[in-house]
Chain A
Amino acid sequence: MDTIADMGGMQGFGPVQLTAPDDPPFHEDWERRAFAMALLSMRVSGTNLDAFRHALNRQHPLDYLGEGYYGRWLKCAENLLTDSSIIAPGAVEARARKLAGEDVDEPPAPEPNKPDYSPTGPGSIRQIDTPPKFAVGDRVRAKDIHPLGHTRLARYARGRVGVVEILQPAHLFPDTHAHFLGENAQHVYNVSFSSDELWGPEAEPFELRMDLYEDYLEPAE
């Protein structure tokens, strides 16, 4: 999906302010609670880290930007828990209104429907026997694709040509793993792109490095 989360190269967000070295990770108590619940919601919903990121991205852009970082995490937890029918749609809103003193009916807890899925090992890195399709120094093009589900292929790299710099450890493939359609462990390549390849001849000179899954790449001339 092409969501608000894919921000590389967007314009208009204005200046950035560094925060003090002792800036704490949480600024309000609810942020602490939302952080911990979001992490735990992966286990409670029987999902995984890629599904978590997908749930984080599937938000209305106004919510994504307006509710702050941990507001996004709260919505992510709610998405994962409703997807697996741990809580009913609207359950959080109904409970919130009740806590605020309104007289509302709360939806009953549904029958859980967790994904039929179990990981083949811990974490995201796997050993695979398939030889890598690309070698360090190869020129590769990031495919110009627009997956309907989760993806880690950022829009700004699609269709662009770069050079393989590092062969990273093989990883689970987020595009299928997020949807419980298989781990699809595959090679991951760190690819360099020149700034003018990404942003045109007026771009300031620099090198961009991005990790790309083998299924995102094709050979380039």
Chain B
Amino acid sequence: MTFETETTRLPVALRTEALESILLERNLVDPKVMDTYIRMYESDIGPMNGAKVVAKAWVDSEYKARLLEEGTSAIAELGFKGPQGEHIVVLENTPDVHNAVVCTLCSCYPWPVLGLPPTWYKDPGYRSRMVREPRALLAELGLPLDDDVEIRVWDSSSEVRYMILPERPPGTEGLSEEELAALVTRDAMVGVAKVSAPA
């Protein structure tokens, strides 16, 4: 049996060029707006935003309380809001409870704080396995968790977006907020890694 699909016809780059040429010739899209969207998500909006939120929560206990209570407004205090950030819930990882986020149905992700999702988050392997064998998958990704750590997996099935507040690593007591932000990784804010202290 053969399937007649897009894949068997024309290369995707050529079809992209074709659609763009149709839309531009009919003035249906503004190339400047396209470039603005691309530049925003390539340069301005990314995990460095979320890292600032995490670092502030680590040094300011009142901010941390607001962040866990009302994520969206606490994040907006730092100027981060916009598409895919209408309602953000921040989940705290502790030595006893490990939270991690997935979207099994597409690729829902908190854009204002983390930017566009990385390749692995969109991978069918991650989307299918994270809700079925998270402990095995996390170990495979380099995060083996002790058996007594409770795992909570959050499948992003509504417009609520989830971000993880990772544990502050030991040995970072003397670091400034800015130095702490530099340690925080995207993967830790999705819950597939921990933040390490500087070597």
Interface centre among A29, A70, A168, A204 (most CB of B within 10 A): A204
A contact patch SS: mixed
Question: Is A117 an interface position by the 8 A CB rule?
Answer: no
Question: Is B106 an interface position by the 8 A CB rule?
Answer: yes
Question: What number of A residues sit within 8 Å (CB to CB) of B?
Answer: 87
Residues of A within 8 A of B107 (CB): 69
| A154 x B33 contact (CB < 8 A) | no
| B23 x A152 contact (CB < 8 A) | no
CA of A33 to CA of B18, assembled, Å: 11
Known A5-B105, A19-B120, A96-B17; judge A206-B26 contact (CB<8 A).
no
Known A16-B140, A40-B29, A44-B29; judge A210-B155 contact (CB<8 A).
yes
CA of A119 to CA of B46, assembled, Å: 29
| B26 x A109 contact (CB < 8 A) | yes
Q: Tally inter-chain residue pairs, CB-CB below 8 A.
A: 241
| A36 x B37 contact (CB < 8 A) | yes
CA of A87 to CA of B34, assembled, Å: 19
CA of A78 to CA of B134, assembled, Å: 35
Chain A residues 1 to 38 lying within 8 A of chain B, measured CB to CB, are: 5-11, 13-19, 21, 23-26, 28-30, 32-37
Question: Is B16 an interface position by the 8 A CB rule?
Answer: yes
Interface centre among B13, B35, B105 (most CB of A within 10 A): B105
Residues of B within 8 A of A6 (CB): 104-105
| A207 x B160 contact (CB < 8 A) | no
A interface footprint on B161-199 (CB within 8 Å = 1, 0 otherwise) = 000000000000000000000000111000011000000
Q: Bin the interface of chain B by size.
A: 35 or more
| B87 x A168 contact (CB < 8 A) | yes
| A13 x B128 contact (CB < 8 A) | yes
Kindly provide the distance from the CB of B52 to the nearest chain A CB, expressed in whole angstroms: 16
| A17 x B131 contact (CB < 8 A) | no
Known A30-B12, A40-B33; judge A11-B153 contact (CB<8 A).
no
**Which B positions have Cβ atoms within 8 angstroms of A?**
3, 5-7, 9-10, 12-23, 26, 28-29, 33-35, 37-38, 41-42, 46-47, 86-87, 89, 104-107, 115-116, 118-120, 122-129, 131-137, 140-142, 150-160, 185-187, 192-193
20 contacts between A and B (CB under 8 A): A5-B106, A8-B131, A9-B104, A18-B118, A23-B118, A30-B16, A33-B20, A35-B38, A40-B34, A53-B105, A68-B12, A93-B10, A93-B15, A93-B18, A95-B18, A96-B14, A99-B21, A125-B159, A156-B132, A199-B132
**Which A positions have Cβ atoms within 8 angstroms of B?**
5-11, 13-19, 21, 23-26, 28-30, 32-37, 39-40, 44, 53, 56-57, 60, 62-63, 65-71, 74-75, 77-78, 81, 86-87, 91-93, 95-100, 109, 123-125, 152-154, 156, 166, 168-169, 171, 188, 190, 198-199, 203-213
